[in-house]
Amino acid sequence: MKGNQARIYLSNLEHNIRQIKKNIGKAKLCVSVKANAYGHGDIIVARKAVESGADCLAVSSVAEGRRLRDAEIKEPILLFGLTVPEEIPEAVRGNLTPFVCDTEYIDALNKSAASYVQAMRDTGAAVHKFPVHLKIDTGMGRIGCKSEDAAFLASYINRCENLYLAGMCTHLCVSDSLEPEDIEYTQRQIRLFRDSVEAVKKAGINPGILHCSASGGTLMYPNAVFDMVRTGILVYGYFPSEQAAECRTSFNLKPVMELTASVVGIKTVEKGDSVSYGRTWTAAQKTRIATLGIGYGDGIPRRLCPGLHVNIRGKNYPVVGRICMDQCMVDIGLEDEIERWDDAYIFGCQKNCCGADEVAKIADMISYEILTGISARVPRIIVP
Ligand SMILES: *Cc1c(COP(=O)(O)O)cnc(C)c1O
């Protein structure tokens, strides 16, 4: 018995990165390793991504960036999220490249960057200022400045003693959809982004590296690749949406994570016997129940039952009764040869085994949620 495992297939990660690179020509690739690399393990994924051709990495918090720097990862790291003021000195120390979109935040960064700039001067490096990327909100409604403020903010950044504009970016919010109004909205976002860039150039400012696509845009909008794409979910082997998967069937992805649990016990139940909390399931006939040592505390949401099936010895069986914190139960029938300590595949890359996207669909979730939800107590086993 191995117990619960999230096996991380690094060769699949490399395969996915190759697929993405084939699609973006000479543009750079930024791999999103936020949220512990979507649950896969941030440091191991970051190293493998760089080895496989990623030019830069991205995190969402300063603490996530710190972990990568502590692991001696030297590549540029974009900081997707805004931080609180207390974290800004740490972001600068870690050389995390922040997205900025207002003068208050830019001022705070400029102040903290003084020590960085001094240190760079001392080493005699060519670039003395601290790089930031200007984020434009072209319709995501999350973070970013208005398109019409781009030129002002770009010049504000470059007038800061310790900062320079190293890039401009935006984020698309329906780029994984094929609905006509979504396509129109996305084209409008791309247009607004181009306009912002033009305005900055017109003001005599170099906009730096331009990027706007995450996985959705990378797949569906070749006109939005610009100088770099920022992909997450594709790297981990999943499409950002069903529509994207259907329209890009030639884009071959391999799931990186495989989640298995062990059958920790098997018992026979009689017709009418109930299983688990709330007695929501009763046996329609005599059958065998396999108990797995995995539950919602490991990241298998209760809402996945009914619906979730696990694969044991190549065949799928339904999870029955409520999923508990540490265990769940599977109806394995009376006929099939299944033994205690067998592996049950919950999702992954094995034949006949469903993907995290299919699991997610049962509960109206997305693969991102399932992957990032696999909790820390499930050991990550690296398969080279
Ligand atoms: C998370 C994130 C991405 C990556 O998104 P995927 O859909 O996983 O490719 C890219 N850009 C930003 C700003 C993000 O927050």
370 CA to centre of ligand 1 in angstroms: 16
Which residues does the chain have with pLDDT short of 50?
Answer: none
Ligand 1 site, CB within 6 A: 32, 34, 80, 171, 214-215, 230-233, 240
In this prediction, residue 119 carries a pLDDT of 85
* Helix or strand holding residue 178 (H, E): none
Whether residue 146 lies in the annotated active site: no
Choose which residue among 20, 32, 236, 366 to substitute to test ligand 1 binding: the one with the highest number of ligand atoms within 8 A of its C-beta: 32
In this prediction, residue 111 carries a pLDDT of 96
In this prediction, residue 309 carries a pLDDT of 97
In this prediction, residue 124 carries a pLDDT of 80
CA-nearest residue for atom 8, ligand 1, is 232
Strand partners of residue 267: 289
How far is the C-alpha of 123 from the C-alpha of 71, rounded, in Å? Answer: 22
In this prediction, residue 28 carries a pLDDT of 98
34 CA to centre of ligand 1 in angstroms: 9
86 CA to centre of ligand 1 in angstroms: 25
- Superfamily classification of domain 10-238: Alanine racemase (3.20.20.10)
Atom of ligand 1 minimally distant from the CA of 38? 8
In this prediction, residue 121 carries a pLDDT of 84
Look up tokens 């609905």; give the residue. Answer: 179
- Architecture of the domain defined by 257-383: Beta Barrel (2.40)
Is 305 within 8 Å of 328 (Cβ atoms)?
A: yes
For residue 218, the SS3 value is: helix
How far is the C-alpha of 374 from the C-alpha of 255, rounded, in Å? Answer: 15
**HSE-CB of 288 using CA atoms within 13 angstroms:** 16
How far is the C-alpha of 110 from the C-alpha of 126, rounded, in Å? Answer: 19
Nearest alpha-carbon partner for 209 in 228, 231, 181: 228
Look up tokens 């469903």; give the residue. Answer: 354
Whether residue 277 lies in the annotated active site: yes
The catalytic residue among 21, 28, 34, 135 is 34
375 CA to centre of ligand 1 in angstroms: 21
How far is the C-alpha of 107 from the C-alpha of 227, rounded, in Å? Answer: 27
The catalytic residue among 2, 201, 271, 277 is 277
The domain ranges of the chain are 10-238, 257-383
Q: What is the pTM of this model?
A: 0.96
